[in-house]
Chain A
Amino acid sequence: MERKSMDAQSKALSSLFLKQRHALQTFIRSMLRDDDAAEDVFQEVWLQFADAQQKGTEIQNLAKWSRGVARNLILKHWRRQRTSKVIADSEMLELVEEAFDEQDDREAYWESRRKALKACMKKLPEKSRQILDLRYEGDQPVAAVAEGLGKTTASVMMMLSRIRKSLSACAERALKGALA
């Protein structure tokens, strides 16, 4: 009976882990800017989570626990990559972690927004889509995108900002429409 209850608890926690994976992936990616390294860290968090479950470790707040594990792995990654460009420091990491902590109870909103944004991306004009492709497909820096387009970095940054704003507005409209 007790074993059944533990299995059910374990399943519920795994399901919760998967539900909050987008937030965790965002947190990790924002600190590493390297898809492969971010994927490695995410998988390591998952392994540590599975290990904790096996050992019967009590996890009160899974999202916070996962970010804590991820933070340690990110710091470890930074130490290994001393020569590469630093995009953040531990103070920034703490601020980002705090920001995510504050949004934990709004996961349902963020998930709906994610879906709405995906739908809005399909409606983007071709030109806007091309700029996003150039920026995000190969994770190219804005300067490289600007060079490829024969424009200034500032103008491409402005274009990206406008596209993001229009996407955000579209997602908000869709969310309001869904609520109405």
Chain B
Amino acid sequence: MNRLETLLHRWEDGSIPAAELAELKGLLKESGNREALVEHLRDSNTIHSVIQAQASDRDFGLASLEQEAPIPFPGEKVSSQRLRRSGRRAGRRRDRAGGKTSPLPWFLAAAAVLAIVVGVRFMGGSSVIPIDQGGGLPGEPGAGGCLHPDSGRPEPVAERHVGRRR
């Protein structure tokens, strides 16, 4: 390694003492050395950019793998850091793998409850369905009422009971 090369390496490394920096400046007064300086710097930049690009590709690849990685066995503990890194998707996968129950979005849960309530209220189920076998006035036996479960006779609407849908 010649003197110029040594000084260039030290300068590039940031470990050059003031006296050697002055020596380097002296050497760079010659145009041939200035060309060597450009060659050194441009090669450094190329090496640096190739290595940086490959490192970022590798990091990106690792990040993608991390996204897929935390699918633990049922009951396996996943570190919070690992979960944080891999985002919420991993948490959901963990649920499927036998961990906690997956949280249903609140609006889906609310919509489901509302649908059940509305269904029960308007579609029947536990409500009384008039069998309309009577023909009498309201309050009289058979007037749009239903059959008594024991006697099988029509009973007044006012005494409707909860019966099964027919």
On A, residues with C-beta under 8 Å from B are 22-23, 25-27, 29-30, 33, 35, 85, 87-89, 91-92, 95-96, 98-100, 102-103, 110, 113-114, 117-118, 121, 132-133, 136-137, 139, 141-143, 153, 157-158, 160-161, 164, 167-168, 171
Q: Which of A96, A136, A158 contacts B37 (CB 8 A)?
A: A96
B11-70 contacts to A (CB < 8 Å):
11-16, 21, 24-25, 28-29, 31, 34-35, 37-48, 50-52, 55
Interface contacts (Cβ under 8 Å), in number, total 102
**Assembly CA distance A118 to B21 (angstroms):** 30
* B interface, over-half SS: helix
> Which residues of A lie under 8 Å from residue B25 when comparing CB positions?
91-92, 95
| Known A-B contacts A158-B1, A167-B43; A136 and B48 likewise in contact (beta carbons under 8 Å) | yes
- Sampled A-B contacts (22; CB under 8 Å): A22-B42, A26-B45, A30-B41, A89-B21, A92-B28, A95-B28, A95-B29, A99-B28, A99-B34, A110-B38, A110-B42, A132-B47, A132-B51, A133-B51, A137-B51, A137-B55, A142-B15, A153-B15, A164-B40, A164-B47, A168-B43, A171-B43
> Which residues of A lie under 8 Å from residue B40 when comparing CB positions?
164
> Could you tell me if A103 and B38 are in contact, using CB atoms closer than 8 angstroms?
yes
On B, residues with C-beta under 8 Å from A are 1, 5-6, 9-16, 21, 24-25, 28-29, 31, 34-35, 37-48, 50-52, 55
